Amino acid sequence: MGADAPDRGELIAALGVEIDPQLLETALTHRSYAYEHGTGDNERFEFLGDSVLQRAVTAMLFSRYPDDDEGELAKRRAGLVSTFALASIARTLRLGAHIRLGRGEVLTRGAEKPSILADAVEAIIGAAFLSVGSEQAEALVLRLVMPLVDDPASTGAITDPKTALQELASLRHAPPPAYDVTGEGPEHARIFTATVTVGELVTATGTGTSKKQAEVAAAWEAYRAIRA
């Protein structure tokens, strides 16, 4: 993003919580933009938001699944707080358009990178905590993650999208997923794009800073498309 920020009204409405405008801008500021413009970035907010996220999800899972042992609860939590779960939430919020990125990240499609999207979600949770306190911030977390909780198959798929996609293809009597990966940009900032095709069922793409990350992102998008 450039210096002209888009209207945040739609984002605030989607979040359903009033976040201090200055705190929200910081939460949406990637370190690449901060370096170029001499502003603060969202890394401290991300640190705080991660703690709020973990606490809210842990308490919710403990109450919702009274018969699960520690290992099963930990597995559920890992899926819900994973990079791909948070990136999926970010895409639902159309968060990429709001994140302030430096020129290099703009050129390498940083607004599509799962890690940047996930970090921004955590930073927004941190900004919400600072703006309205722990109770409303944790309520925000639950609103964001409950669609995934209510769809256990998706929650499991987030943990291992490639395996989940392969299993889903088999269930639909389709050929195994086939991946094609291309890379662009300089070696120190290379961005990879993976395209996965599952027979006639779906073709989906994903990006990442490694071939594996791009394939996983593509697998998750394909899985979601097939199950939609």
- Residues 6 or more apart whose CB falls under 8 angstroms from that of 225 comprise 202, 204
Altogether, the residues listed in the chain come to a count of 228
- 42 within a domain of the structure (yes/no): yes
**Whether residue 174 sits in one domain with residue 134:** no
3 part of a folded domain: no
Positions marked catalytic: 50, 122
Q: Domain span at residue 203?
A: 161-227
Average pLDDT over residues 32-58: 97
pLDDT tens string 218-227: 998 899 899 8
User: Is 4 contained in some domain?
Assistant: no
What CATH number corresponds to the domain at position 178? 3.30.160.20
The answer to whether position 215 is within a domain reads yes
Q: Nearest-CA neighbor of 218 among 150, 148, 161?
A: 161
* Residue 190, pLDDT score: 83
CATH number at residue 55: 1.10.1520.10
Task: For residue 127, give every residue at least 6 positions away whose Cβ sits within 8 Å of its Cβ, in sequence order, or none.
Answer: 19, 20, 23, 24, 26, 27, 45, 49
Domain boundary among 101, 121, 152: 152
Shared-domain flag, residues 166 and 142? no
For residue 228, pLDDT over 90 is answered with no
pLDDT in tens, 193-227: 999 999 999 999 988 888 998 899 899 889 989 98
C-alpha closest to that of 155 among 67, 66, 61, 69:
61
* Confidence check: pLDDT of 40 > 80: yes
Which pLDDT tens digit goes with each residue over 139-171? 999 999 999 888 766 766 877 889 999 999 999
Residue 209 maps to a domain:
yes
pLDDT of residue 160: 84
pTM: 0.82
User: What's the mean pLDDT in 179-183?
Assistant: 96
Query: Same structural domain for residues 13 and 79?
Result: yes
Count of domains for the chain: 2
Give 6-27 pLDDT, tens digit per residue: 789 999 999 999 999 999 999 9
115 and 180 housed in the same domain? no
Would residue 2 count as lying in a domain?
Answer: no
- For residues 213 and 128, membership in a common domain is answered with no
| Bridge partners (DSSP) listed for residue 171 | none
